[in-house]
C-alpha cells in the first residue's frame, strides 16, 4: 500500500499495467516535455524493464533492462504498446477489472 501511495504522489508516475505476473509502472523522466520515459517492474524503480527515448524528436528507441531483453519479440511489442498507452492516456490499473493490456 505504501508503494501505491508513493506512486500516486509522484508527479512523474503515469500509471501501470500488468502481464498477470508482474506489475509495470511508467515514469516520465521530467514533468515538463519529457523526451523519454522508463518502465519499472513490481514497485522497484531500480528494476528497469525499458527506457523509451526520442519522444520529442520522433526517433523512438527502446532500450531493455537485463532481465527483460531476452523476452520474446511479441512480449516486447505488447509491453511497448501498453507502456505507450499508459504514458499517453494513463493507467490501465485504475479499475480493478481492467488489469491487462490487450495491446
In DSSP notation, 6-50 reads: HHHH-TTEEEEEE-SS-EEEEEESSSSS-SEEEEEETTEEEEEEE
pLDDT of residue 93: 77
| Every domain of the chain and the residues it spans | 2-89
pLDDT tens-digit profile of 15-45? 999 999 999 999 999 989 899 999 999 989 9
Q: Report residue 8's pLDDT band, with 50, 70 and 90 as the boundaries.
A: low
pLDDT of residue 1: 41
Q: Report residue 91's pLDDT band, with 50, 70 and 90 as the boundaries.
A: confident
pTM: 0.81
Amino acid at each position: 500500500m505504501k508503494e501505491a501511495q508513493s506512486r500516486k504522489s509522484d508527479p512523474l508516475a503515469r500509471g501501470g499495467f500488468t502481464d498477470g505476473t508482474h506489475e509495470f509502472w511508467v515514469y516520465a523522466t521530467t514533468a515538463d516535455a519529457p523526451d523519454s520515459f522508463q518502465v519499472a517492474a513490481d514497485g522497484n524503480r531500480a528494476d528497469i524493464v525499458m527506457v523509451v527515448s526520442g519522444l520529442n524528436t520522433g526517433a523512438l528507441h527502446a532500450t531493455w533492462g537485463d532481465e527483460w531483453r531476452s523476452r520474446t519479440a511479441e512480449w516486447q511489442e505488447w509491453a511497448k504498446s501498453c507502456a505507450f498507452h499508459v504514458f499517453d492516456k494513463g493507467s490501465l490499473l485504475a479499475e480493478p477489472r481492467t488489469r491487462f493490456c490487450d495491446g
